[in-house]
Chains A and B, each alone.
Chain A
Amino acid sequence: MTVLTFTIIMFFGAYSAGFVGSLTGLGGGVIIIPLLTVLLGVDIHYAIGTALVSVIATSSGSAAAYVKEGITNMRLGMFLEIATTAGAVAGALLASVAPTHFIAILFGCTLIFSAINSLRKKEEHNVKTSSSLATILKLPNSYPTSIGMMPYGTKNVIGGFSMMGLAGVLSGLLGIGSGAFKVIAMDNIMKIPFKVSTTTSNFMMGVTATASAVIYLQKGYIEPGICMPVVIGVLLGAMTGAKILVKANPKKLRMFFAVIIIGLALNMIYNGIVGNI
């Protein structure tokens, strides 16, 4: 395949990945990996590097809007970034010693988990009280809702912090934003409102991904020729997806894409087991 053909295919592939990623809430990076490895035969290390670069672009782009609206809890993000960046560095160092078929299988499982998790019903909950550690760390805050600023409490800081460490390892090992795990840490474990959890997760992704991207860069995972069409394509696709999301909540579309993504994930697991990846 020539550079020109590859670039054009990648651009449109990445555009669709960004679009689907933003509609399903999975993020474009996670879909770009099976696209590159399964469909275009790109080595998984290059795929991971490329995906991580696009994670930085899309998360910073969308985080900008949420930060301005004041939904993002920047102290919470900063504190939990200790766990995610440490995890990400460990994950990135692991990526170079872990066998590729192991990475492929783990990636497939993570993708299936995230896809199923994205279909889960989200309920906005709000606790009033906070644990003492959360208060010391000044984590409880308030966020804008339709009825004005709503204060919220924060629970189980240690549990959330540990889950964030795991999210960081997966991010560094697989080149993904691991938004699903970050949201579980904040929403399910720390009992932070869903909207705050998702936006803060997005806010943290750039820093987390950069911590491992620096290692990827030095190991040659980041190939400019692949990154260029992918990063631009994913970002434009994500922006289109976000515009559509504002207009409607395409529930059936989400279901449809989740099924396709699970199919791709199973394909990766199969290829990992038989040793094609």
Chain B
Amino acid sequence: MEKDQIRDKDIQYVIGNLLRYGVWIALGVAALGGLIYLFRHDQEIVHYGSFVEQDINIFVLIREMFQDVSKGKGESVILLGIMLLFLTPILRIIFSLIAFLFEKDYLYVGITLIVIGIICFSVFFGFAH
């Protein structure tokens, strides 16, 4: 029991740091992208009043994002920051999965895998309908 407690403390420490630095790195990237974007487009007129629904596969989206990031497009750098923000909770789950595996808590390994499965479902089927 005592050993479990110590392990739980370590896990809490790592997950706490993961969440904190993940958010700051993501926002740092988004802020950098924001500056590039503002520098280039500051006098353009915004059109956010009307919305056009898209249906783009996330993998296409990520590929396009990296292509545009390499061209130095501000909007894509912001998007990269947003993607890193999404990655933070996903990394947290993967880390929990590893931690539960180490603790040999197979009930929670299963529970974590179900949550990962649901997120994968939304990654793969979110656009197709």
Contact = CB atoms under 8 A, between A and B. Distances in A.
Interface residues of A, number: 65
Given A81-B115, A82-B114, A214 B126 contact: yes
B90 A210 contact: yes
Nearest to B57: A218
| Chain B facing A: main interface SS | helix
B107 to A, nearest CB: 7
Contact of A60 (B13, B22, B44): B22
Contact of B12 (A68, A93, A229): A68
B85 A56 contact: yes
Contacts of A211: 118-119, 122
B2 to A, nearest CB: 13
Interface in A63-105: 63-65, 67-68, 70, 72, 74-75, 78-79, 81-82, 85-86, 88-89, 92-93, 96
A67 B15 contact: yes
B66 to A, nearest CB: 14
A204 B20 CA distance: 15
Contact of B86 (A2, A44, A45, A56): A56
Interface string A203-215: 0001101111111
A42 B42 CA distance: 18
A78 B48 contact: no
Interface in B1-23: 8-9, 11-13, 15-17, 19-20, 22-23
Contacts of A214: 58, 86, 119, 122-123, 126
A30 interface: no
Given A138-B107, A218-B126, A218-B127, A57 B78 contact: no
Given A2-B44, A219-B54, A137 B107 contact: yes
Interface in A46-60: 46, 53, 56-57, 60
Contacts of A137: 107
A229 B115 contact: no
B19 A206 contact: yes
Interface string A176-211: 000000000000000000000000000000110111
Q: Which 7 A-B pairs have the closest CB atoms?
A: A220-B54, A206-B89, A215-B126, A68-B16, A224-B78, A43-B51, A64-B20
Given A41-B49, A45-B51, 17 more contacts: A2-B46, A3-B41, A3-B44, A4-B42, A7-B38, A43-B50, A44-B51, A46-B51, A72-B12, A74-B11, A85-B115, A85-B118, A206-B92, A210-B86, A217-B58, A224-B76, A225-B78
26 contacts: A2-B42, A3-B43, A3-B44, A3-B45, A7-B38, A43-B51, A56-B89, A57-B26, A57-B85, A60-B20, A64-B20, A67-B15, A82-B118, A89-B121, A92-B122, A138-B108, A207-B115, A207-B119, A210-B86, A210-B119, A211-B122, A218-B56, A220-B52, A220-B54, A224-B76, A229-B34
